[in-house]
Amino acid sequence: MAPDLREFVRDVPDFPKPGILFRDLTPLMRDPDGWQEVIRQLSAVCERLQPDLIVGIESRGFIVGTALATAVRLGFVPVRKPGKLPGAVTGVDYALEYGSDRLEIASDALADGSKVLIIDDLLATGGTAAACAELVAAAGGELCGFGFVAELAALEGRRKLPDHQPVESLIIYA
């Protein structure tokens, strides 16, 4: 029987500020059985969606994305904050609740029109994942879906993502 992934997630009240309940996935990553189950379930998502590459969002998306890419024998492409990638980059600016941010990808990373699955640890408000989808298109890639370890459904992040794209979350918190 597969382990229940929720059992490995630690709730941290009032982090990073009062009133926020932080869902800490690091105990899940620390447990070999729990982590193996995450990768098994995300591998099944890959089997259904058939991506050519995994795109991971800085920084915890790197952890999940590289483990998944290795398991399913696909390449991995990082999406980073500004100034972290060498050479020519393609970037997209996006709005945050209070301000703005930017994501970048190597300009040639998706130039061949690869089908990509965007992977991150958590879907919350959806702004970063939506910006990453926009970035994939700007870089010449073809988005085939999103995969998240956990989702905070009350924040309605799915509403910001493209309607026609599959969104798979292994743990959903109402």
Q: What is the CA radius of gyration of the chain?
A: 16
Q: 94 in a domain, yes or no?
A: yes
pLDDT band at 157 (very low <50, low <70, confident <90, very high): very high
- Tell me how long the chain is: 174
Q: 2 in a domain, yes or no?
A: no
Would residue 156 show up in a list of annotated catalytic residues for this protein? no
Average pLDDT, the chain: 97
pLDDT band at 137 (very low <50, low <70, confident <90, very high): very high
pLDDT value at residue 99? 85
- Which is the catalytic residue, given 97, 104, 134, 159? 97
Distance CA 171, CA 152 (A): 9
Q: 36 in a domain, yes or no?
A: yes
Mean pLDDT of 138-159: 98
Q: 4 in a domain, yes or no?
A: no
Q: What is the pLDDT of residues 39-52, one digit of tens each?
A: 999 999 999 999 99
Mean pLDDT of 56-85: 98
pLDDT value at residue 42? 98
Find all residues with CB under 8 Å of 98, minimum gap 6, and list them: none
pLDDT value at residue 171? 98
* Stated pTM of the model: 0.96
Would residue 97 show up in a list of annotated catalytic residues for this protein? yes
Alpha helices in the chain (DSSP H): 26-30, 32-49, 60-72, 127-138
Q: 165 in a domain, yes or no?
A: yes
Q: 5 in a domain, yes or no?
A: no
pLDDT value at residue 1? 82
- Which is the catalytic residue, given 6, 60, 102, 134? 60
Q: 26 in a domain, yes or no?
A: yes
Residue 130, token pair as written in the block? 């939506």
Share of the chain above pLDDT 70, in %: 100
pLDDT band at 27 (very low <50, low <70, confident <90, very high): very high
pLDDT value at residue 24? 97
pLDDT value at residue 152? 97
Give the residue numbers spanning the domain of 58. Answer: 10-173
Q: 161 in a domain, yes or no?
A: yes
Q: How many domains does the chain have?
A: 1
- Predicted confidence (pLDDT) at residue 97 exceeds the cutoff of 80: no
- CATH (domain of 30): 3.40.50.2020
